[in-house]
């Protein structure tokens, strides 16, 4: 049974990437950038009924320096866009962004002078969660997608 | 229909400087006022004991682009003690979009006037702090004017698709 | 406390609170001048969630506006739906059937419950009472189940139609509602028990964020904040719409106009809402849920799919829209935060010339400097919590 059979009991082998990614994906520290309606569903997902704690992501950090997963929850207007970029740039690597809801993904049904047509015009986005607003299940699904994405990364790819 | 006390009092005080406008849908007393008179009328409505319009409900502006004068500032007032309501309207021309402020009579009008200025470009004379409210100072134009295109964006930050070397 | 800090060397500085701050639920910025812990001036900066509601409405048909109204006050979307639709009905001069009116009251009061639960829960959380917030969210979750069974969505309901409502009560709604209301009532009692006489909560709420009756009116503040100052003004009583004049409920009043009174007014209002829902379920007659006028009401889906008239009417309303006569209307309902008015101007076409929403929390946020000047930094949190700013409605 592989290399482990030659080793004393209690020792396993793995790749460094695998261990680090495992740690990262089960301990997201979210920065909820909540602007609008979807925030209500974020509250619902974070509270006891849907219990985001099952994914190790229950603890919101309101300082971008301490967060690694940014949740863009709600409509991004042109007035708030500089704030969004500033907050994103303040986050330390490794960092990921999840756009929650139709407005954050694409501007939703607000095609007008004041709404940014998708948060990805301001910052790079890793996972898009659709819905107006997405149900908590969809939100949790987004978290799982995010975990899957983190799992495929290599620590080397984030150099420079 | 019998005249309400508001209309009667206003007619007594201002005579033909005001014009009563029918409002068949909601039956609210509606009065068209010359823009120079608006502060006087409001002060009268607020101070007169039988009227006592104490609750400032709403102030907004409508852009009638095909008519002259172009803009119409609309005021909604309500009196808690007498339970009556009135709507005032004042026309403002496009070439000189100014009207007197009423923020000295109801302080709440302050932000409503700022919003009307922001959205329609109507200036309120004597307003203590006439800045944009909902939009940012860099914004050019007034979005709720009918001739402002709905999808004309004015981004504050460089969008990612315009940056070099971004996927 | 002030005497103690007098000897400390402090200097005046300007601080930005927001637009992304844990206690500013929603995006709003407060520019605060502070000297030590004392607040000198507060300038709220709003508009971070301006989504061009009016511009979108002016470019949509009357029916297409309804989903936009959901997203004004996204904590109590039913009330917005009802307010907008009734304003349009005033222009068309139609009176909806009785059952529809009861359904609208039912929906509005469920929404009021969710609104107040969210407000109370969120502000309790900001005062470190996390359990109370989990209770409130749990209660809201149950109510959302109810809403979902009624209209298929949790948050963005789009329940009303011009001339009626979209769906009748689903099967088993009454016993289900009764069960959920009981649970919510006991939850409210629990939450109240945790907070009402809690030393920390009481001390931080009592005497802070005071706005007296006169100032409230001059600012245009309505709703729980006005009633906390002791003014008897509730649109449901002052200008009864729907069937509110047939229902027996009280309007709770406060005295001091401080945060604690605002909190208690909200708690009592929730109890009244439960009372109203009970009466509505008992009184609601059978009958149609929308007016029988094919020029106004969207036909039910079975008719659209199975009969040619239904399809033609549906097509006509969707493509051509309805055309209210030229004129203007102002119609107000009692929203979660106060008087929610819609001022609609029609030019006789299928799109509103202007669709203005008079947002209830707009004047309340405007009055925040008045509530906070001379207070201390820690008072901002309960005051802002009780203001219950809802970004979508505030900035539109």
**Is the CA virtual torsion B6, B108, C118, C134 positive or negative?**
negative
A36 vs C74: CB contact, 8 Å cut-off?
A: yes
Within a domain: A16 = no
Within a domain: A58 = yes
The alpha-carbon gap from C329 to the nearest alpha carbon of chain B, in Å, equals: 6
**pLDDT confidence band for C126 (50 / 70 / 90):** confident
Domain that holds residue B96: 5-163
What mean pLDDT comes out for the span A80-91? 89
Mean pLDDT, chain A, integer: 86
Chain A CA closest to residue C67: A109
Within a domain: A60 = yes
* Pick among C50, C120, C154, C180 to test the A interface (most A CBs inside 10 A): C50
3-state secondary structure chain B: CCCCHHHHHHHHHHHHHEEEECCCCCCCEEEEECHHHHHHHHHHHHHCCCCCCCEEEEEEEEECCCCCCCEEEEEEEEECCCCEEEEEEEEECCCCCEEECCCCCCCCHHHHHHHHHHHHCCEEECCCCCCCCCCCCCCCCCCCCCCCCCCCCCCCCCCHHHCCCCC
Q: Report the candidate in C53, C30, C336, C54 with the shortest Cα–Cα distance to residue A75.
A: C53
C25 vs A34: CB contact, 8 Å cut-off?
A: yes
Question: Torsions phi, psi of A142, nearest 5?
Answer: -60, -40
Distance CA B115, CA B124 (A): 11
Neighbours of chain C (3+ CB pairs under 8 A): A, B
pLDDT, residue B164, reads 66
Distance of CA C258 to the CA centre of its chain: 20
User: What is the tens place of the pLDDT at every residue in C278-326?
Assistant: 899 888 888 888 888 878 888 888 888 888 888 888 888 888 888 888 8
Q: Which residues are bridge partners to A98 per DSSP?
A: A71, A127
What mean pLDDT comes out for the span C326-332? 90
Whether residue A35 is preceded by a cis peptide bond, meaning omega within 30 degrees of 0, is no
Q: What is the CATH number of the domain that holds A77?
A: 3.40.50.12280
Chain A CA closest to residue C58: A112
Q: Say which of B87, B110, B143 has its CB closest to residue C330.
A: B87
Distance CA C343, CA C345 (A): 7
* Pick among A42, A63, A74, A136 to test the C interface (most C CBs inside 10 A): A74
Per-residue pLDDT at C3 exceeds 80:
no
Mean pLDDT, chain C, integer: 87
**pLDDT confidence band for A99 (50 / 70 / 90):** very high
Within a domain: A10 = no
- Chain B residues lying within 8 Å of C366, measured CB to CB: 108, 110-111
3-state SS, residue C188: helix
User: Residue with structure tokens 């739906």?
Assistant: C81
C56 vs A112: CB contact, 8 Å cut-off?
A: yes
Distance CA B142, CA B97 (A): 13
* C326 CB within 8 Å of a chain B CB: no
**pLDDT confidence band for A97 (50 / 70 / 90):** very high
| H helix count then E strand count, chain A | 5, 4
pLDDT, residue A56, reads 83
Distance CA A136, CA C3 (A): 50
Q: Half-sphere exposure (CA, 13 Å, Cβ side) for C357?
A: 35
Per-residue pLDDT tens digits of chain B, which is 167 residues long? 567 888 888 888 888 888 888 888 888 888 888 888 888 888 888 888 788 888 888 899 998 888 888 899 999 988 888 888 889 889 888 888 889 888 888 888 889 999 999 889 888 888 888 888 888 888 888 888 888 888 888 888 888 777 766 55
Domains belonging to chain C, first-starting first, are 45-395 (1.10.645.10)
Q: Half-sphere exposure (CA, 13 Å, Cβ side) for C201?
A: 24
Distance CA C46, CA C32 (A): 14
Distance CA C187, CA C196 (A): 14
The alpha-carbon gap from A99 to the nearest alpha carbon of chain C, in Å, equals: 16
Q: Half-sphere exposure (CA, 13 Å, Cβ side) for C184?
A: 31
Q: What are the residue ranges of helices labelled H in C40-157?
A: 53-58, 65-70, 77-92, 98-126, 130-151
pLDDT, residue A128, reads 92
**pLDDT confidence band for C361 (50 / 70 / 90):** confident
Q: What are the residue ranges of helices labelled H in chain C?
A: 2-6, 53-58, 65-70, 77-92, 98-126, 130-151, 173-195, 199-205, 213-219, 224-228, 235-238, 259-283, 301-306, 308-315, 361-366, 368-372, 377-387, 391-395
Chain C CA closest to residue A116: C51
A81 vs B155: CB contact, 8 Å cut-off?
A: yes
C56 vs A133: CB contact, 8 Å cut-off?
A: no
**pLDDT confidence band for A58 (50 / 70 / 90):** confident
* C67 CB within 8 Å of a chain A CB: yes
Within a domain: A69 = yes
User: What is the tens place of the pLDDT at every residue in C242-281?
Assistant: 888 888 888 898 888 888 999 999 999 999 999 999 899 8
pLDDT, residue C6, reads 65
In chain A the first and final C-alpha atoms are separated, in Å, by: 39
Domain total in chain A? 1
pLDDT, residue C169, reads 87
| Number of other residues whose CB lies within 10 A of the CB of residue C4 | 7
Domain total in chain B? 1
Q: Say which of B150, B156, B159 has its CB closest to residue A113.
A: B150
Q: Say which of B23, B28, B143 has its CB closest to residue C52.
A: B143
Q: What is the CATH number of the domain that holds B112?
A: 3.30.460.80
pLDDT, residue B166, reads 55
Domain that holds residue A53: 29-152
């Amino acid at each position: 049974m592989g290399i482990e059979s030659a080793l004393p009991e209690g020792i396993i082998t793995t790749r460094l990437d695998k261990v680090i990614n495992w740690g990262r994906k089960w301990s997201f520290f979210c920065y909820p950038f909540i602007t609008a309606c979807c925030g209500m569903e974020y509250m619902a997902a974070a509270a006891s009924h849907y219990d985001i704690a099952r994914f190790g992501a229950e603890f919101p950090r309101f300082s971008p320096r301490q967060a690694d997963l940014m949740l863009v929850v709600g409509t991004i207007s042109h007035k708030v866009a500089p704030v969004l970029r500033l907050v994103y740039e303040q986050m330390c690597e490794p960092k990921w962004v999840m756009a929650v809801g139709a407005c954050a993904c694409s501007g939703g049904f607000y095609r007008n002078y004041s709404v940014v047509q998708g948060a990805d015009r301001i910052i790079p986005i890793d996972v898009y969660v659709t819905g107006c607003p997405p149900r908590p299940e969809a939100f949790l699904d987004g978290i799982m997608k995010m975990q899957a994405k983190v799992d495929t990364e290599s620590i080397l790819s984030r150099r420079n | 229909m019998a005249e309400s006390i508001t209309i009667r009092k206003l007619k007594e005080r201002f005579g033909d400087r005001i014009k009563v406008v029918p409002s068949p849908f909601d039956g609210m007393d509606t009065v068209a006022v010359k823009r120079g008179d608006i502060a006087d009328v409001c002060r009268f409505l607020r101070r007169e004991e039988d009227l006592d319009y104490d609750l400032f409900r709403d102030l907004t502006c409508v852009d009638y682009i095909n008519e002259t004068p172009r803009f119409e500032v609309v005021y909604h007032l309500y009196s808690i003690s007498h339970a009556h309501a009135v709507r005032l309207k004042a026309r403002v021309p496009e070439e000189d979009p100014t009207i007197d402020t009423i923020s000295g009579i109801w302080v709440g009008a302050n932000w409503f006037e700022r919003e009307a200025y922001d959205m329609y470009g109507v200036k309120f004379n004597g307003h203590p702090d006439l800045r944009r409210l909902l939009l940012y100072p860099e914004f050019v134009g007034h979005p709720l004017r009918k001739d402002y295109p709905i999808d004309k964006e004015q981004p504050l930050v460089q969008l990612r698709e315009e940056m070099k070397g971004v996927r | 406390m002030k005497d103690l800090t007098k000897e400390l060397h402090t200097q005046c500085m300007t601080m930005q609170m927001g637009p992304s701050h844990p206690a500013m639920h929603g995006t709003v910025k407060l520019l605060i001048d502070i000297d030590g812990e004392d607040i000198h001036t507060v300038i709220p900066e709003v508009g971070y969630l301006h989504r061009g509601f009016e511009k979108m409405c002016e470019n949509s048909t009357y029916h297409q506006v309804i989903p936009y109204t959901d997203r004004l006050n996204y904590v109590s979307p039913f009330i917005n739906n009802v307010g907008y639709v009734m304003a349009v009905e005033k222009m068309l001069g139609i009176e909806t059937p009785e059952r529809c009116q009861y359904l609208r009251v039912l929906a509005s009061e469920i929404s009021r419950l969710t609104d107040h639960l969210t407000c109370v829960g969120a502000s309790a959380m900001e005062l470190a009472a996390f359990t109370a917030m989990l209770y409130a969210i749990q209660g809201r979750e149950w109510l959302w189940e109810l809403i979902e069974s009624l209209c298929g969505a949790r948050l963005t309901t789009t329940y009303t139609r011009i001339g009626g409502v979209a769906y009748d009560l689903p099967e088993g709604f009454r016993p289900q509602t009764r069960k959920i209301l009981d649970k919510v009532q006991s939850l409210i009692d629990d939450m109240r028990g945790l907070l009402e006489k809690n030393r920390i909560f009481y001390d931080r709420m009592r005497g802070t964020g005071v706005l007296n009756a006169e100032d409230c009116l001059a600012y245009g503040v309505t709703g729980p904040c006005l009633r906390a100052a002791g003014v008897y003004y509730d649109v449901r009583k002052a200008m009864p719409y729907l069937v509110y004049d047939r229902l027996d409920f009280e309007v709770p009043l406060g005295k001091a106009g401080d945060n604690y009174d605002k909190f208690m007014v909200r708690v009592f209002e929730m109890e009244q809402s439960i009372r109203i829902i009970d009466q509505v379920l008992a009184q609601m007659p059978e009958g149609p849920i929308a007016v029988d006028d094919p020029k106004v009401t969207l036909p039910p889906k079975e008719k659209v799919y199975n009969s040619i008239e239904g399809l033609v009417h549906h097509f006509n309303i969707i493509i051509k829209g309805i055309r209210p006569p030229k004129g203007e209307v102002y119609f107000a309902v009692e929203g979660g935060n106060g008087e929610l008015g819609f001022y609609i101007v029609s030019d006789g076409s299928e799109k509103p010339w202007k669709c203005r929403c008079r947002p209830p929390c707009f004047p309340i946020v405007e009055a925040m400097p008045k509530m906070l000047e001379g207070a201390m930094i820690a008072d901002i949190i309960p005051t802002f919590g009780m203001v219950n700013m809802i970004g979508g409605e505030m900035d539109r």
